């Protein structure tokens, strides 16, 4: 029996959480669900994420989370970012593969890639200074006053500043995770993505560290010159002796990567990125494989793992039993894999795949026309997936 914290979220979250819970129970794996309401309404009422939510996740070490709303530009900190940072969920893993039957421009292509995104640093650290505030003016004056030769040229009272902290440790940790993942799942390559030609001390650091980790893993460098003078990560050498090696290490700049993914996504496998680039590319990759309705995710830390869809709370569809439960259900599949329930995960994947391939009991977003009257609701699609598993 696995005790799992279930966060039903808000917007369409509760409907998706219920559908997913039923599907996971139907796999035959025994779950004891510790339901913890923590949507926007709860946060508004209590003023913060309730302590009981963090306590439950810390205790159970396993969570399934439906989406939660973050009002834009109201000084409101994202609950999602808060949970990832509080729980040290440093790796965000988002597999993107095309299921036969899904409507996408890439249906005929073998897209099967995995985004590994750093989850705790970068512009998401929440270190921000609002335009017009005294502290912001002080910061700008300090920066303009130090002898770097660099100045923030725009108006002191009219400029906002967001800080982009990126560390050796944080980068090494996520690159290490990406290579571990590639080795464990028999993946062929890890592509490190950055914008080091512009941001030398953050994105430049990123490349230096991902190269060092790649070298420690015995990776084959696509461009051998990138390995010259790189010292393998001393913390990893020795630990990686048992890995198969042979994973290829490649690098792309983020702008070029966007174009490459649209033109030839089948060439890419594991893609390792810092927080903001990872966030943006996750949605792009979700688009490649059929949209947000089918894009699952996992947030992994040393002590806890939280599984959630890439998409948000789609508030306009709240309470309509309309949106696609596949992304959260596939996040549940990632949870099954994480806890070692491989057979159940594969059974669930086959059932999802079969329902999508038939194209009958699927939600509006999977039909040729979004107004197709034969589209089924969230809970009916879950029923169809359950029926497929039971028929096996
Ligand atoms: P969204 O992902 O909620 O929805 C955008 C659109 O995508 C929807 O209007 C809908 O057309 C489509 N869509 C999303 N999920 C779908 C599904 N399961 N099935 C079918 N169609 C689906 O993005 P948004 O509107 O930018 O964000 C809404 C709220 O969600 C915001 O407050 C945002 O901060 C939050 N958000 C939360 C998370 C999270 O909880 N992890 C992630 C992203 C956004």
Atom of ligand 1 nearest to the CA of 324: 19
- Confidence bin at 242 (pLDDT 50/70/90): low
Token representation of residue 255: 């702008």
Residues 6+ apart with CB under 8 A from 180: none
Q: What percent of the chain has pLDDT over 90?
A: 77
Catalytic position from the list 25, 135, 223, 255:
255
pLDDT for res 150: 82
Token representation of residue 57: 């996740």
pLDDT at 75 over 80: no
| Lowest-confidence segment of 5-14, 119-128, 229-238 by average pLDDT | 229-238
Q: Atom 1 (ligand 1): residue with closest C-alpha?
A: 312
Q: Is 177 a catalytic residue?
A: no
Atom of ligand 1 nearest to the CA of 325: 18
Coarse DSSP helix, strand, coil percentages of the chain, rounded to the nearest 5 percent: 45, 15, 40
pLDDT for res 376: 98
Distance 13 CA to ligand 1 centre (A): 10
> Contact, 78 vs 126, CB < 8 A?
no
Mean pLDDT of 24-46: 94
Q: Is the CB of 293 under 6 A from ligand 1?
A: yes
Catalytic position from the list 90, 124, 181, 217:
124
Distance 309 CA to ligand 1 centre (A): 9
pLDDT, tens digit (0-9, with 9 covering 90-100), for 149-189: 788 878 889 999 999 999 999 999 999 999 999 998 889 99
pLDDT for res 68: 93
pLDDT for res 249: 97
Residues 6+ apart with CB under 8 A from 189: 182, 222, 247, 248, 249, 250, 268, 269, 270
Buried b / exposed e over 113-130, threshold 16 CB at 10 Å, is bbbbbbbbbbbbbeeebe
pLDDT, tens digit (0-9, with 9 covering 90-100), for 289-324: 988 899 999 999 999 999 999 899 999 999 999 999
pLDDT at 370 over 80: yes
Q: Is the CB of 347 under 6 A from ligand 1?
A: no
Q: Is 364 a catalytic residue?
A: no
Q: Is the CB of 378 under 6 A from ligand 1?
A: no
Catalytic position from the list 10, 203, 269, 279:
279
Ligand 1 probe mutation, 67, 309, 311, most atoms within 8 A of CB:
311
Q: Is the CB of 365 under 6 A from ligand 1?
A: yes
Q: Rounded to an integer, what distance in angstroms lies between the CA atom of residue 163 and that of residue 378?
A: 40
pLDDT at 281 over 90: yes
Distance 382 CA to ligand 1 centre (A): 19
Q: Is the CB of 114 under 6 A from ligand 1?
A: no
Atom of ligand 1 nearest to the CA of 326: 18
pLDDT for res 235: 83
Q: Is the CB of 328 under 6 A from ligand 1?
A: no
* Pairing outcome for strands 31-35 and 2-7: parallel
* Pairing outcome for strands 270-273 and 189-194: parallel
Averaged pLDDT of the chain? 93
Q: Is the CB of 312 under 6 A from ligand 1?
A: yes
Mean pLDDT of 381-385: 98
Angle between the 203-216 and 168-184 helix axes, to the nearest 10 degrees? 40
Q: Which domains does the chain have, with CATH numbers?
A: 1-89+301-392 (3.40.718.10), 93-122+166-294 (3.40.718.10), 128-162 (no CATH)
Mean pLDDT of 6-25: 97
Q: Is the CB of 67 under 6 A from ligand 1?
A: yes
Distance 204 CA to ligand 1 centre (A): 32
- Confidence bin at 245 (pLDDT 50/70/90): low
pLDDT for res 56: 97
Q: Is 207 a catalytic residue?
A: no
CA dihedral over 351, 354, 356, 358, signed as positive or negative: negative
């Amino acid at each position: 029996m696995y005790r799992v914290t279930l966060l039903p979220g808000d917007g369409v979250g509760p409907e998706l959480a219920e559908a997913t819970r039923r599907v996971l129970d139907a796999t035959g794996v025994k779950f004891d669900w510790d339901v913890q309401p923590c949507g926007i309404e709860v946060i508004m009422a209590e003023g913060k994420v309730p302590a009981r939510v963090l306590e439950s996740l810390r205790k159970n070490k396993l969570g399934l989370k439906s989406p939660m709303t973050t009002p834009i530009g109201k000084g409101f900190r994202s609950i999602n970012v808060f949970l990832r940072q509080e729980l040290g969920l440093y790796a965000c893993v988002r597999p993107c593969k095309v299921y036969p039957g899904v409507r996408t421009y890439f249906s005929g292509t073998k897209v099967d890639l995995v985004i590994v995104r750093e989850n705790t640093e970068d512009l998401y650290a929440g270190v921000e200074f609002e335009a017009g505030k005294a502290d912001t003016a002080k910061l700008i004056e300090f920066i303009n006053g130090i002898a770097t030769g660099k100045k923030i040229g725009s108006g002191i009272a009219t400029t906002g500043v967001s800080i982009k902290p990126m560390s050796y440790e944080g980068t090494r940790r996520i690159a290490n995770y990406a290579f571990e993942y590639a080795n464990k799942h028999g993946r062929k390559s890890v592509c490190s993505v950055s914008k080091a030609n512009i941001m030398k001390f953050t994105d430049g650091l990123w490349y230096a560290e991902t190269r060092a980790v790649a070298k420690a893993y015995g990776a084959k460098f696509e461009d051998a010159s990138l390995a010259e003078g790189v010292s393998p990560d001393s913390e990893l050498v020795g630990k990686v002796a048992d890995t198969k090696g042979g994973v290829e290490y490649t690098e792309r700049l983020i702008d070029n990567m966007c174009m490459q993914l649209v033109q030839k996504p089948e060439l890419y496998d594991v893609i390792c990125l810092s927080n903001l680039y990872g966030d943006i590319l996750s949605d792009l990759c979700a688009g490649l494989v059929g949209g947000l309705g089918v894009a699952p995710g996992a947030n992994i830390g040393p002590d806890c793992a939280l599984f959630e869809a890439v998409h948000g709370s789609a508030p306009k569809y709240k309470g309509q039993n309309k949106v696609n439960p596949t992304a959260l259900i596939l996040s549940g599949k990632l949870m099954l894999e994480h806890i070692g329930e491989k057979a159940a995960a594969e059974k669930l994947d086959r059932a999802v795949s079969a329902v999508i391939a038939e194209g009958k009991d699927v939600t509006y977003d999977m039909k040729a026309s979004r107004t197709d009257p034969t589209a089924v609701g969230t809970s009916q699609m879950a029923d169809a997936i359950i029926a497929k598993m039971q028929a096996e």
